[in-house]
Structure 1
């Protein structure tokens, strides 16, 4: 079982009603009572449960944000037109409309998380705590999670409504889309505050909550994003450097660099190698990870996939498979090109296997019940972003090259020696693509670095007989949101 108490809460963006809760010690749901959210926040335990409810909203993020809206959007993933009725085909083939369910889910789930965090932050100071430090920590957790939600929203939709407190349904209809600068400034402010409030580590049942290093790592990443498309802030990399360096200097105390790439993605190593991860557990309570079985072949050996696969019928693209250097041991941790079927025969097919930990298969109670956590922020991500910031401010320094070569050495690759800043940019793009494959990073890397059209259009022309323009860097505002109050939100260019 995973740390962090769990709570089930039914919440809309505009109003909330607390319904039931459970924790890592008891997987049975425990009634809280049918109180309004105004009457619920009375005790320290109420706040503790409510903060767990904010974390609970992360359960669906990896599928929506990191796989569907990112990996399926990139040249890492290909879907045959026979699956044209599926959202992931529309995303992969750039046939997205404002009515697409996955787009609506991203908007709704992110704002639901934000609303839960707003409720806690609005009321936490009114509730007595035996330990003021715990109150501060929970404020930091909610600020971190709220910032994380806005970071995803701004990457997916561009300008979005900025709501930083609990509002009535009537008042919500007065919030239009805020400018990108305003949203990013809010994210930066929230993460700065969170880093000052959060502890460096946890023990016992609190392991898995947001730490100071998670907040600083995400803050540094946000600064790097401000340096790229669309903001292109000249000081983004400069601001990122000292923040990311704090995280790197915490190695051994705040995080651990795994000896091998494969051990990072084992269930037994959850909460060991990531800076922040979505917490999952098996047990049939709806707290399992669906991703391990989403893209494996339908007839895979039941000893590995005891309940069959889940949903997606695309596969790793040849472009991704052929991009690995010979000897890169990450390749067959991330994907495979052959599998054993239920009849015991070996069959050729490309599929992602990164989170498919067969040692956990016997604990499953359904095909969506995998216990392995999903990384939202890894030390290697921070390492490569720091190297990128060094390269963009001072060229390929010895420190920057050494960081990348440390990751390459673990992958079984020889040291690289980039001759120029441009060479190092290409090296970083490839390393991030391979190190972070199937984690939802590559598409956003292409967008922010300005490489998207150059990389994607030849691939799209070959596979879908089309090309795209910069309008497709973000998704449409969901149609249902546009219709709530005509004129409140303008639609993103290129969508109707």
Structure 2
């Protein structure tokens, strides 16, 4: 709750797009004296984007990839949050849960601040005002999407509130949150352009809003809501994204090309913007899981924190010849003594050609994908399969991705067979991007996939209550009785 009441720390806001990262931070201002000019709004919107810097590490890795059978942590790291997440030994006191809740609500608060005031400010170009409203609505919806996926029912706060007012906002149902997300993203899509040029590259676009809207429809259509009419809604918005190829997005020539620093803002629909150079705006993900003693010619600073590894289950799931496997991970590395050493690790964003510009293990400049065209393509194929079976169009989309990966096409499959093919394709194409865990839940496959793996690796099984996380303990204690705890965590 204390972070729903987040104070807008305007003095530390910084731009997050690579091309406008040098926007001067605001200092010696308070909320009441700040929102006066168009430039104030421009800087405040940059502050909303700034909160995205924490999303990949917490939401995409810890709460998603680490939770899935893509990642394994040995019990020797049992004191670490990532072990608790991987081994399903969760309590509401886990610090990562509070961090996730905090980060999401701080971004919502920053967006609320802008949206509550932007119409009062004079703009030389009203189109710019509308666009910035769309950006804030998109980012606010994205934060609520992360919250509802992680915690289910959460407080819905659409305006800036005081500390006292915040104490009157209970959790509302996940269906209410999803309806709000749909409304926000629909509005954002109507306000945003298909693409940007120059210094505005990296901002939220209409295509990004439509893509995330389609993703929300997929979650609403799947488990546990099972409102299957939303598959048709998803098809409609995904079709708009797919029709914009080469006029808003580009299909990369190779899988490896996607994950290079030089490819930032080329092949994603929306990405978290990072900048190396010791400004506190770097990406921690590339150095998060690499071996501690890796050759400094590859990375001068070694691992950042996590000591888990890609699971054998993930490694063994790749087809022979899949070019994606060794872009995503490796099973050997050269140590500082030049000795080849056996250990698996994720290397998807580890661009050694950009290592010379980093000043710490968490200072990488490569962007992180929130939404890629391939994600939309595969979700579209899933939605089509659920409504019409494995059509020729759906198969051709999947085969286009498989061909780039060096694999043969698929044909002559049933609807149920195509479901499993799509599950595997998404697992491989989007590994280490924070997508797979949510896929398992919304397709109703979580327990079938996770329990055999958990039995083998941790001698346990789970039930549906552990598909959500508990509300953080400190939030429960702010006003006893305001929130109820999720089942399974009382």
- Establish whether TM, by shorter chain, passes 0.5: yes
Q: Structure 2 residue aligned with 1:349, among 330, 343, 361?
A: 343
CA distance in 2, matches of 1:191, 1:436: 23
1:162-241 maps to which residues of 2 (within 5 A)?
Answer: 162-241=156-235
1:74-153 maps to which residues of 2 (within 5 A)?
Answer: 74-153=68-147
Q: Secondary structure at the match of 1:328?
A: coil
Contact 1:14 1:168 (C-alpha < 8 Å) held by counterparts: no
Instruction: Deviation per CA, 1:57-87: give whole Å up to 9, x if none.
Output: 0001001011000000000000000000100
Q: Structure 2 residue aligned with 1:15, among 7, 20, 41?
A: 7
Matched, 1:385 2:379: yes
Deviation at 1:236, TM superposition (A): 1.2
CA distance in 2, matches of 1:278, 1:26: 14
CA distance in 2, matches of 1:151, 1:191: 11
Instruction: Deviation per CA, 1:232-270: give whole Å up to 9, x if none.
Output: 102110111111000000000010000100000000000
1:323-334 maps to which residues of 2 (within 5 A)?
Answer: 323-334=317-328
CA distance in 1, matches of 2:426, 2:92: 30
5+ residue gaps, structure 2, are: none
CA distance in 2, matches of 1:19, 1:390: 48
CA distance in 1, matches of 2:361, 2:86: 24
Structure 1 residues 420 and 193: alpha-carbon distance in aligned structure 2, compared to 1, 3 A threshold: same
Q: What residue number does 1:58 align with?
A: 52
Q: What residue number does 1:422 align with?
A: 416
Q: Secondary structure at the match of 1:291?
A: coil
1:331-410 maps to which residues of 2 (within 5 A)?
Answer: 331-410=325-404
CA distance in 2, matches of 1:213, 1:371: 24
CA distance in 2, matches of 1:352, 1:145: 28
Deviation at 1:421, TM superposition (A): 0.3
Deviation at 1:31, TM superposition (A): 5.5
Contact 2:123 2:129 (C-alpha < 8 Å) held by counterparts: yes
Please provide the CA RMSD for this pair.
1.3
Structure 1 residues 418 and 482: alpha-carbon distance in aligned structure 2, compared to 1, 3 A threshold: farther
Q: Secondary structure at the match of 2:217?
A: helix
Matched, 1:433 2:430: no
Q: What residue number does 2:483 align with?
A: 489
Deviation at 1:367, TM superposition (A): 1.0
Contact 1:200 1:211 (C-alpha < 8 Å) held by counterparts: yes
Q: Secondary structure at the match of 1:134?
A: helix
Contact 1:98 1:479 (C-alpha < 8 Å) held by counterparts: yes
Deviation at 1:187, TM superposition (A): 0.2
Instruction: Deviation per CA, 1:422-450: give whole Å up to 9, x if none.
Output: 00001000000000000011111001100
Structure 1 residues 185 and 454: alpha-carbon distance in aligned structure 2, compared to 1, 3 A threshold: same
Deviation at 1:228, TM superposition (A): 0.7
CA distance in 2, matches of 1:63, 1:21: 20
Contact 2:5 2:162 (C-alpha < 8 Å) held by counterparts: no
Q: What residue number does 1:280 align with?
A: 274
Deviation at 1:34, TM superposition (A): 2.7
**Normalised by the size of structure 1, how large is the TM-score?**
0.96
Deviation at 1:188, TM superposition (A): 0.1
CA distance in 2, matches of 1:450, 1:419: 21
How many equivalent residue pairs? Answer: 486
5+ residue gaps, structure 1, are: 1-10
